[in-house]
Amino acid sequence: MLPHLSSNTVFLPQKPRSPRLQAWLWSLFFLGCALLLSIPAARADDSGQPPIDARAYILMNAQNGAIIAAKNAYQPYAIASITKLMTLYLLFKDINAGGLRLNQEFVPCQAALQTGGSSMFMHPGLRFSVAQMILGMTVPSGNDAAVEAAYLVAGSVPAFVREMNQTARKIGMLSTTYYDPDGLPHPNNTASPYDVAVLTRRIMTDFPQYMHFFNHENFTYAGITSPNPNLLVGRVPFITGMKSGYTDAAGHCLVATGTQNGVQLIAVILGVPSFTDENRGFWKASWQSLKLLDWGFARTLWLPSTPHLEKTSAP
């Protein structure tokens, strides 16, 4: 591995190497090349799809909706906090309509304070802005933030959930059923990878001005700093977001978006096998998402097109 070079690195002239040393270095170089060439490259499985360790996944081109790769993509599964993408979509819609403002401040309602699970750590009487509430959902996946958003947009959780389901039907999410705004376990809170990709694409195209909320590595509120379970954010330059989720029923789930050379891809991975250590599970989900995006960019940008994979409707 090459050493890290800072802007202060100084290169000093070196003594010329002896012919014997040069010959030995060239031999070592060619041996290394031969060893690398002998290692088999990662290959797609017999179906031509990438070998992703997950219950289901889909890879979609965000610009035209073309499907590049898919596995069990049209079956509904538990989606955990991926649910919050619809909560955020409706919140963005309300902000654009003038109902809420990003700098507007509130104190949390009782229902938000009583919501369990992952949290942005709302406290009684502690003010938060709408922008902080958004980050509370996109980074630590705060269930308290999602419930608060439901009350601010629709006045109650049941009214907001009705709007979630109505919107899902309107934008073509025909295999999705929402029962809460946060993704806490419910046997019928499910969506297909295809539906999640459709929703993600709508967020990217309808509200590009809010995409920066999905690209934060950490979020600090109430004196507590929470890391983003999407471990690609802040570490892989072409990653632009987007949302993680985990429950025992759903396993580890991740929606990852990326842009290279003007091409935008959406990777939705549901049901990565869970581990006792939840952080290790998110590491694996992030790794599987990166593999899928790399596979997609390779075929979209550098390899011949594969029209038989680019289907935009269920089989």
Instruction: Please answer whether residues 268 and 197 qualify as being in contact, where contact means their C-beta atoms are separated by less than 8 angstroms.
Output: yes
By three-state DSSP, how is residue 309 classified? helix
What is the set of active-site residues? 81, 84, 141
Q: CA 141 to CA 120: how far, in whole Å?
A: 7
Q: Is 208 exposed, middle or buried (0-12, 13-18, 19+ CB in 10 A)?
A: exposed
